[in-house]
Structure 1
Amino acid sequence: MTTRTLGEVPTGCRERLIAHYGAKAQEWLDAVPEVLGQMAERWRLTLAGYHDAGHASVIATAADLDGRPLILKAWADPTRYQHEVCALRLWAGELTVDVMETADDQAVALLEMVGGRPGGSDWRQRETQMVAGALHGLHLRGRAELPEGSLPLLGDYLRFEVLPRIEKRALRLDLGPWQPLADDELRAITMLQEDPRRSTVLHGDLYRENVPFDGQGHPRLIDPVPMVGDAAFDWAFWTVYYDLGRETSQRLATAARISRIPVPVIAPWCRLLSLDGLLYYVDTDDPRAPQMFGVLSFLSVRGAGGDV
């Protein structure tokens, strides 16, 4: 068996991590190829190449002695590594990606490759229902084995990150014709409260690319940003962001049916996330801003919106 150093981290990945973590990530990125080579030697892997994806880690594809395809993932933030591995181990089974090996000294983990290739298989039949079922299963498992103190709290994330940045951007940005709706929603989100009876381990990052399907057509949730808090947050995130601007109403109805959390309870969380997203997109000149405004309009008490 041979291993090799993969060379420099791809430019796109490097730029995303520097944008996320700042210039301090430069030194870590320079060291990553050697670290991955060391992990390949430790775990007897053959490295294949980089998989240019993500904003918080460097991902490489590899194979073990039996030729089984695997993912080698290195985190820039050791705390984020600890949280993600903690949640994946808590959820271990057929709902998420399996953790094969970990290196706490380097914040690197060896993971199974869902569907035998990056991004998973193409088999996505009954996608909405299947993903909702998998998410509900994660919440049930997280509620049954709720870890004490090892994961951050949703309440702290909302209080110290989400709400302050919403308020800051709302004061600074000129939203033009979108301003009245944003002002209405800003007043409404101050009433939002968690229900401790729904507390569980949250995935926290339910974009479509974080839900690959395996070779049997089952969704496997990957790349969580785990927190402990109200399950309604995850259902709202999935409703809004899984496929922005498409089938929002279908996902909202499915979320309520599977979770048994009523639509009027999930919808305000959706509006919080939509307002946060709209302000971010406007602030960064992201072309998805009109899509997010359409989603927020649909979800708002004003009842407007397009094909969502």
Structure 2
Amino acid sequence: MTDLVPAEFAEAVGAYEPDPVDVDAPFAVTGATWLRRLPRLLEDLLARWDLTVDGPTCWGQCAVVLPVTGPHGTAALKVSWPHLEARSEHLALRHWEGHGAVRLARADPARFALLLERLDASTDLVDVPIDKACGVIGDLLAQLSSPAISRTPTLSAYAARHAVGTNRALDGGLPRRFVEQARHLAVDLAADPVVDSCLVHSDLHYTNVLSAERQPWLAIDPKPMAGDRAFEVAPALWNRSDALGSGSSVRWLLRRRVEIICERSGIDEARAKAWTIVREVDNATGLASGSDRVGLAVAIIKAMND
């Protein structure tokens, strides 16, 4: 089964330390240890669920996905390195029941294994014109809109845990005024009664949307939270940054993405901009001044302030 684990994936995951957010959880394990167990785990899952691999392995930052055929036709077997963000993925997919998202057939949560509807892994939104791609994301966010469910992380806890006014943030490459602004915004947004009211995907961007047969596009790979729908917009801004151009066009194009997504999803634009500032300060915390990622964060924050 080692041939089902791509070398590039193994090289990246092999460096992972146990999930630092929840190191005391029983599933916490280094990437290297998990990789040693992965071939046997795949073998066991394929046998137990009566699956046959019928194509090359796909992979992302934390999971391998095997195209398989089983008793009910074609499917995709996803097995993730155990980490907090993946812990409740099966709960969200079961709740959505295929409405705007990939359909879940069965799950083994203890082993972070999911049997999913097979989508077209070769066709995502990366090469779709950006306005159209943002419209698709907005439409999917509208479909995914639903009340929060239990046993998922909360956005209020995120706001508290990522206290963006800490010394670590101030020691990084972001201007102090942005760090202070994000800290105040996080406090204000977390105090709102809606902060933990909705089930949010939290990572819906251009490679986490795949072509499907049931409808043109479906969301994959949620990192579920009980949160505020306005938290959802930011990933579509920092991804596909190569399409932002340079100079004065950058701010206009960023605001254009926000406008399209919010209009199509029914998300409040002002709240989306506020949460984006919080998320971008969090993303840039601890990074060196002058790095490309800090530069992108500054550009996004400036655009959200216009």
Q: 1:295 aligns to what?
A: 300
Distance in 1 (alpha carbons) for counterparts of 2:140 and 2:17? 31
Equivalent position amino acid for 1:54 in 2: Q
The correspondence for 1:196, drawn from 193, 216, 219, is: 193
Q: How does 1:1-308 map to 2 (within 5 A)?
A: 5-7=1-3, 9-22=5-18, 24-47=30-53, 48-55=55-62, 57-64=63-70, 68=74, 70-77=75-82, 80-115=85-120, 117-120=121-124, 124=128, 126-139=132-145, 142-143=146-147, 146-147=148-149, 149-160=150-161, 162-163=162-163, 167-173=166-172, 175=173, 179-186=175-182, 188-194=184-190, 195-197=192-194, 199-215=197-213, 218-235=216-233, 237-244=234-241, 246=244, 247-279=253-285, 281-282=287-288, 287-300=292-305, 303=306
Task: Measure how far apart 1:108 and its partner are.
Answer: 1.1
- Distance change in 2, residues 1:80/1:129 (3 Å): closer
Q: Deviations over 1:248-295 (max 9, x none)?
A: 212211233234444322211111112222335538x86333223211
Contact 1:151–1:228 (8 Å) recurs in 2: yes
Contact 1:122–1:213 (8 Å) recurs in 2: no
- Distance change in 2, residues 1:25/1:183 (3 Å): closer
SS in 2 for 1:95: coil
Distance in 1 (alpha carbons) for counterparts of 2:303 and 2:31? 39
Task: Measure how far apart 1:132 and its partner are.
Answer: 0.4
Identity within the alignment, %: 21
Distance in 1 (alpha carbons) for counterparts of 2:70 and 2:124? 18
- Backbone CA RMSD of aligned residues: 3.1
Task: Measure how far apart 1:172 and its partner are.
Answer: 2.6
Q: 2:249 aligns to what?
A: none
**TM-score normalized with structure 2 length:** 0.78
- Distance change in 2, residues 1:243/1:78 (3 Å): closer
Distance in 1 (alpha carbons) for counterparts of 2:281 and 2:94? 33
Task: Measure how far apart 1:16 and its partner are.
Answer: 3.3
Contact 1:114–1:120 (8 Å) recurs in 2: no
Distance in 2 (alpha carbons) for counterparts of 1:18 and 1:119? 28
**TM-score normalized with structure 1 length:** 0.78
Distance in 2 (alpha carbons) for counterparts of 1:81 and 1:190? 24
Task: Measure how far apart 1:211 and its partner are.
Answer: 1.4
Determine which structure has greater relative contact order: mean sequence separation of CA pairs < 8 Å that are 6+ residues apart, divided by chain length.
2
Equivalent position amino acid for 1:14 in 2: A
Equivalent position amino acid for 1:158 in 2: A
Q: Deviations over 1:42-68 (max 9, x none)?
A: 22222233213123x233232336762
In structure 2, the gaps of 5 or more residues are 19-28, 245-252
Distance in 2 (alpha carbons) for counterparts of 1:58 and 1:152? 23
Distance in 1 (alpha carbons) for counterparts of 2:186 and 2:152? 25
